[in-house]
Chain A
């Protein structure tokens, strides 16, 4: 399978603190890659490198290259806004905008200048269907998104991300604020989405990583300890630290 994303000799610092240490990693296309590890291991920082969301942190400093489709996204000529249209992100806490359900999903297209109502309507419908939310909200598109349940809000945020048709989706613990049933729905959705998208997901939930991901990378103290097929990581880890973490001995 093809690689779409690559980290080359990546080091990240927050002031004097080194958050990531010499990471080298390639991501497969149309696969779900899980990043696991104890809190503070750098996995969220790592995820946020791919859509340059760390840029807003004052003390953030990075060395190395992040290649997306063989282009270094930290090059000066890269337009961050364009990059983020290709690489979507779903956050830990559902963060719908205080607008209607329709306006939330149409947001990405509208800021790109799409005004044609039929186009918008179609895109919204398609995105909501992909996010398995359409049947629940099709009669309430004008209702405030804040009136939805937490699980629905998170699927709405996924739909909002899908509407601009990115190729890669970053997910930062997308189910940590959801109940088990809502979590199951989102996991089901992630499994379906990988047909069309490359997904990188940060999770604290070991079972989740084993259920939904094809590849898993284990991070510890800013280092990538082990990266392999998920089956291998969970059945036959090469490192003792990985073994200890996935069996719940620490972390």
Chain B
């Protein structure tokens, strides 16, 4: 009996550690951000078009960083979405079971490559290649980082979408075939609509992963906060800025230091909203099939 109690206590402790860590992170994030917003108004933070906290003439407009983040994320999604969904449909509707068993884990390795490797791949392979096509492109740019990030998140889309397609009752596929549908018609008219919520969730998670991605953009996209949607010039994302300042020698408790928490909470709000949308859709989806 005593042993049971000890084990229960240990389990409870592990659960608590996780929760406390989250609470701790939130506390630091919030308290430092509040200190930041005492000095810089939220209005200025949102509407100022420049982000130059490290310069003599300081501007605290988060929008250039948000723009950089969204730009690289959208490029990544436009790479990962079509490729990922095509792979998912191929694996679930066309490929042999044995082929799928081998290829799916192989694809998932893409997500396991250290992101710093991707960063250098973007900088030393993809960017020179892009420069050979578009000579005007800068050495650091959103396009290269976005494309490589897209490759990295392909397995998020393909694996989770494939899971969603495989979870559709096989009776639906048989029903569609028995009506005289081709494989393509079955895939797009029956299977994808039936798995749509799972597919949407996979894209949202990929989106969330891309927004939070740090190394690739820090290495390959540049460190110049710029309010632009031009993918050919250097930009800076929220995450890349946080790395830049964290590694630099700004003084603790200075306004410069606090900017990383303000940037951090902005990022947190984005991913928090996205994860919740994903959670909500997944919950609705479960209700539909049980």
User: How many residue-residue contacts, CB under 8 A, span A and B?
Assistant: 63
Q: Are B179 and A164 interface neighbours, CB within 8 A?
A: yes
Q: Are B193 and A99 in contact (CB under 8 A)?
A: yes
Tell me whether A107 is interfacial, beta carbon within 8 Å. yes
Tell me the nearest residue of chain A to B190, going by C-beta.
A97
Asked if B96 and A98 make an inter-chain contact with CB atoms under 8 angstroms apart, the answer reads no
Interface centre among B176, B177, B190, B194 (most CB of A within 10 A): B177
Q: Is the CB of B177 within 8 A of A95?
A: no
Q: Which of B174, B175, B182, B190 interacts with A81 by CB under 8 Å? A: B182
Most buried by A among B169, B179, B288: B179
Question: Would you call A112 and B175 a contact (CB within 8 A)?
Answer: no
Q: Are A88 and B194 in contact (CB under 8 A)?
A: no
A81 engages B180 (CB within 8 Å): yes
Query: For residues 131 through 174 of chain A, which have their beta carbon under 8 Å from a beta carbon of chain B?
Result: 146, 157, 160-161, 164
Known: A58-B96, A107-B189. A93 touches B171 (CB 8 A): yes
Q: Are A111 and B178 also in contact (CB < 8 A) when A58-B96, A58-B97, A93-B171 are?
A: no
Known: A91-B171, A95-B172. A112 touches B180 (CB 8 A): yes
- In this assembly, does B47 line the interface, its C-beta being within 8 Å of a C-beta of chain A? no
Contact in complex: B179, A51 (CB < 8 Å): no
A28 at interface by CB-CB < 8 Å? no
User: Which chain B residues lie closer than 8 Å to A146 at the CB level?
Assistant: 288
**B residues 144-199 in Cβ contact with A at 8 Å:** 169, 171-172, 174-182, 185, 189-190, 193-194
A98-B194 in contact (CB<8A): yes
CB neighbours (8 Å) of B180 from chain A are 81-85, 108, 111-112, 164
**Apart from A81-B181, A93-B171, A112-B180: 13 A-B pairs, beta carbons within 8 A:** A51-B178, A53-B178, A56-B177, A82-B180, A84-B178, A89-B178, A95-B175, A97-B190, A97-B194, A98-B194, A107-B176, A111-B180, A164-B179
Q: Which residues of A contact B (CB under 8 A)?
A: 51, 53, 56, 58, 81-85, 88-89, 91, 93, 95-99, 107-108, 110-112, 146, 157, 160-161, 164
Q: Which 4 A-B pairs have the closest CB atoms?
A: A95-B171, A84-B180, A89-B178, A95-B175
